Structure 1
C-alpha cells in the first residue's frame, strides 16, 4: 500500500511538473479546476481565510478550492492526473 502511494505521488508530481511547462495556458475554467485539484491534493481542505472580494483572481481560486472540500487527497491526485492527461494534447 505504501509503495503504491509513493508511485502515485511520483506520478502526480511528474504530471504537475509537465502542466507547468505546457506551451499554452488552459482556459480560465480549466486552470481553476487544475488549481483546485492541485491544492486539494497537496494540502487538503482549504486552510486559509477567504481573500477580499475585491481580489477577483484570489477569490475565484479560493472558491474553486473550497468546492473540493471533503475530497480525499488521493482522489484529488487521481482527478488531477486524469484532467491533465485529457488536456495534454490541447496545451502541451
Structure 2
C-alpha cells in the first residue's frame, strides 16, 4: 500500500510492528523536515546533544531538494519500509 500524502505516510509508520534502524529513522526524519519546512537554516546543536546533532545532519543531507521531491522520496521510503516492518 503506497501512501499518497504525508499524513497517510505518518499514520502508516505508526503501525510498524518493529522499529526501523536508526539510519532509516534519520532518513525519514530528514526527508519529512525537508518536505514540510524546506532547507535546514537552523544552528547546528552543540555540546553533547548527539541525538539533536544526528537529526540536524539528517535534515541537512537533503538541502537543496524541493519540497515536492522530498515528499515523493518520503512517500517512497515509507512504502519501502512498510513492506519490511508491517506484519
More helix, by proportion = 1
Q: Which has the higher contact order (CA 8 A, sep 6+)?
A: 2
Q: CA RMSD in A?
A: 1.3
Match of 1:73 in 2: 67
Name stretches of at least 5 consecutive residues in structure 1 with no aligned partner: 1-9
Count of residues paired in the alignment: 83
Q: Distance in 2 between matches of 1:90 and 1:65?
A: 23
- Residue 70 of structure 2 corresponds to residue 64 of structure 1: no
Q: Distance in 1 between matches of 2:33 and 2:47?
A: 20
TM-score, normalisation: structure 1 = 0.82
Match of 2:25 in 1: 31
Runs of 4+ in 1 over 4 A off after TM superposition: none
Name stretches of at least 5 consecutive residues in structure 2 with no aligned partner: none
- Residue 46 of structure 2 corresponds to residue 52 of structure 1: yes
Q: Distance in 1 between matches of 2:45 and 2:15?
A: 28
Match of 1:18 in 2: 12
TM-score, normalisation: structure 2 = 0.87
Three-state SS of the structure 2 residue aligned to 1:50 is coil
Match of 1:42 in 2: 36
